[in-house]
Amino acid sequence: MNGSHPRQQAPARLWTLLVGLATLLASPLPSARAETYRIGPAETRTSLSQVPWDRLLPGDIVEIVARPEPYRTKFVLCRRGTQAEPIIIRGILGPNGERPILDGENAVTPPGLNFWSEKRGVIKIGGANHPDDTMPAWITIENLEITNARHDVFFLGRDGLTEYAGNASAIYVEKGENLVFRNCRFHHCGNGFLSSHETKSILLEGCHIHDNGVAGSILEHNSYTETEGITFQTCRFGPLIKGAGGTALKDRSAGLVVRYNWIEGGNRQLDLVDAQEGEHLRGKAEYDSAFVYGNVLVEYEGNDNNQIVHFGGDSGIPANNRQGPLWFCNNTVVSFRKEKTCLFRLSTNRQRVEAQNNIVYVEAEGRMLSILDETGDAHLQGNWFKEGWRKCHGDIQGSVTDNETLIGKKGTEAATDPGFVDLTGLDFRLRANAAARQPRPATGLPAPHILTIEPPTPTRPAQRRPAETVLFPGAFGSVP
């Protein structure tokens, strides 16, 4: 007891209440009017046309319930959420994890929506007459399967029955910022995903993008982006459709991060070149560098190009090229080609790659692997290559600096086999006694880039990389 009278404590209690009230008023509160629009066969709303797409506000959520038949509605998102209250378009998965399907074939644009480039996608973000045009922001799209935005497929839009453009996409982002696309599947479109030069801060996470492209064309890709700040993580990129000449992941951005992904097939797995329409991107501090780490890249026999990664530019204007460095660290690269494989095509001698702690396995003899096409500056540190690898298949014009490469003793099995768990089964984890399972120096990846995740595979999702006292090469840190 302190002997104080209860009335003497009143001012202190009042002050505490006032401070608490002020804190409450200053704290961001959930929107009192945020709405959840649920669409499904057993819901009040059964059609996506019943969603007020032109009036969505911060905190609004559109829930789309999976059902056996696809939803055949296409729409534009031209609204702004906030960081605290994003606008969320969310698929509600079926009992076996089925995503609700948005099918572009015979899809209908809801009455009242008026936007240009209807031919370019099933979902379009940005660029509208109604709702009023704005810079869309803080939008999340998750758990959706989107298909059939391609030539020879028709939809019903404001101009009647209309054919999609050949370069149409499952999602076409004309402009927007702070956008997230999570656990979606994009397939059988011209481009699986496309973002234009008026976009900023995009994350694709856990998506499955496959069987896109146009047969006989090199201009459409599984993913095609030109953005200020874009990250691809824990995604699976499958092969394009048969006969398509596009790339698994083609990018013209400033501030690119490609990490913890499974990337297979395509004319090349990665085509990281100069900004085309986004002249402002070439002036960004983040433009020259790109970060590719913790991925699996798979090249199959019969693909048109033997190059895994192209970095620099393809416009023919060297001054516009990304100069580097391209940070290429702790990736597992597997080529099933019987002939030559080239790891990097660097556009000119001004491009530089820092290749550290990678496993690069070719099914052919080691001499069939080259580091460079001809030009560029490659710095190698702690990688595993087959015995006999070459700096270049032809006359090298650039330079390759090698440090601690070729793990294992020449002339032994360890020089030709990294020790995958199951090569034919695409299990590229390393056995406990694997030749490539040797401690490597820490990567030179600048902060905040660190290895924390193992990529997904065709049989298991991405998962956290185990804590390691030493760093092993390749994308996987675990042992079965």
Cross-strand bridge partners of residue 195: 173, 225
DSSP line for 91-153? EE--TTSPPPEEE-TT-BPPTT-B-S-GGGEEEEES--SBSPP---EEEEEES-EEE--STT-
Given pLDDT bands bounded at 50, 70 and 90, which one contains residue 16? very low
pLDDT higher than threshold 90 for residue 149: yes
pTM over 0.85: yes
Q: What is the torsional sign of CA 448, 450, 456, 457? A: positive
Alpha-carbon span 429 to 32, nearest angstrom: 50
Q: What is the pLDDT of residue 33?
A: 80
Alpha-carbon span 22 to 173, nearest angstrom: 41
Q: What is the pLDDT of residue 62?
A: 98
Average pLDDT, the chain: 91
Given pLDDT bands bounded at 50, 70 and 90, which one contains residue 5? very low
What distance lies between CA 139 and its chain's CA centroid?
A: 17
22, 158, 257, 456 from 155: Cα distances, Å: 54, 10, 35, 34
Alpha-carbon span 106 to 71, nearest angstrom: 10
pLDDT higher than threshold 80 for residue 17: no
Q: What is the pLDDT of residue 443?
A: 86
Q: What is the pLDDT of residues 162-219, one digit of tens each?
A: 999 999 999 999 999 999 999 999 999 999 999 999 999 999 999 999 999 999 999 9
Q: What three-state secondary structure class fits 366?
A: helix
State mean pLDDT over 348-357.
97
Q: What is the pLDDT of residues 409-425, one digit of tens each?
A: 666 666 788 999 999 99
Contacts with 408 (C-beta within 8 Å, 6 or more apart), sequence order? 384, 387, 414, 415, 435, 436
Q: What is the pLDDT of residue 32?
A: 56
